[in-house]
Chain A
Amino acid sequence: MEYFLAFAVGGAICVIGQLLLDIFKLTPAHVMSSFVVSGAILDGFGIYDKLIEFAGAGATVPITSFGHSLLHGAMQKGEEHGFIGIGMGIFQLTSAGISSAIVFGFIVAILFKPKG
């Protein structure tokens, strides 16, 4: 059941992205940027946490969860240290994603030859 929910919700988020690409003729970079912003805004109202509880990886794997994790890290430190804390904590939860993307991306670019 949890696999089905992850599949359905994750797939539905991708369909929204595909419709933005096809109907509004946005570039993938525009779609990804707007998804990250909407993730942060939805988390601001506490909606995204409920979606994660409901759909598991269906909500944590799409790029919208990046905005959600940025805000969560910012709020964790923000509650302790006030406004300065926002800047201190903003990358705390996304650190694993960004650092692994940089390291693996770099290693692959060194080892592999460009295709096409």
Chain B
Amino acid sequence: MSLHDQEQYSKNIKNYHPKTPYVWNSLKAFLVGGAICAFGQGIQNFYMSVFDFSEKNAGNPTVATLILISALLTGFGVYDKIGQFAGAGSAVPVTGFANSITSAALEHKSEGIVLGVATNMFKLAGSVIVFGVVAAYLVGIVRLIFRALL
């Protein structure tokens, strides 16, 4: 089969691909993602009023609470159903980060606790940590250099 045939093939098959409903997908992502953030705002207000956290410090327990809820929902199989509906709406909030850790760990449970659960836990979330740390490290160095020069 030549390269030309392959191009022809992808052209022919294009009509049979389901069309991506951009607007509907974005609306679902907006509603679910927004709801998760508004829920997070509620938790943050709770920590600020009940436990005397300042607005800056309240972010940490809020994120930890959201992660706990998301890990439990993943265990019950609920979060993955939300994910099928909401797409990026459930993947982009920090709950999606916890979901990727928990679901990767659960998926490999049959291979054992050490080689399955612990080894595969960061299979998906690892990229987030690696890119985050590398980017923050480089930006931090650039900022320190600028501060030294000015």
A: residues with CB less than 8 A from B are 2-4, 6-15, 17-23, 28-29, 31-37, 39-41, 43-44, 56-58, 60-63, 65-67, 69-71, 74-75, 78, 82-83, 86-87, 90, 93, 96-98, 100-102, 104-116
Interface residue SS majority, chain B = helix
**B101 pairs with A101, CB closer than 8 A:** yes
Determine the chain A residues whose CB is within 8 A of the CB of B62 once the complex forms.
57, 60-61
Given contacts A22-B25, A67-B136, A78-B144, 12 further A-B contacts (CB under 8 A): A10-B36, A12-B34, A13-B92, A15-B88, A29-B127, A31-B91, A32-B100, A65-B94, A66-B97, A70-B135, A108-B106, A109-B109
**A57 pairs with B91, CB closer than 8 A:** no
**B136 pairs with A17, CB closer than 8 A:** no
Known contacts: A7-B35, A93-B60, A97-B94. The answer to whether A36 contacts B132 by CB under 8 A is: yes
Known contacts: A7-B34, A75-B140. The answer to whether A56 contacts B41 by CB under 8 A is: yes
**B68 pairs with A100, CB closer than 8 A:** yes
Interface string of B60-84 (1 = CB under 8 A from A): 1111101110011011110010000
**A60 pairs with B59, CB closer than 8 A:** yes
**A96 pairs with B64, CB closer than 8 A:** yes
* B128 contacts chain A at the CB level, 8 A cutoff: yes
Known contacts: A6-B40, A22-B20, A63-B93. The answer to whether A108 contacts B88 by CB under 8 A is: no
**B140 pairs with A71, CB closer than 8 A:** yes
| Nearest neighbor of B59 in chain A, beta-carbon distance | A60
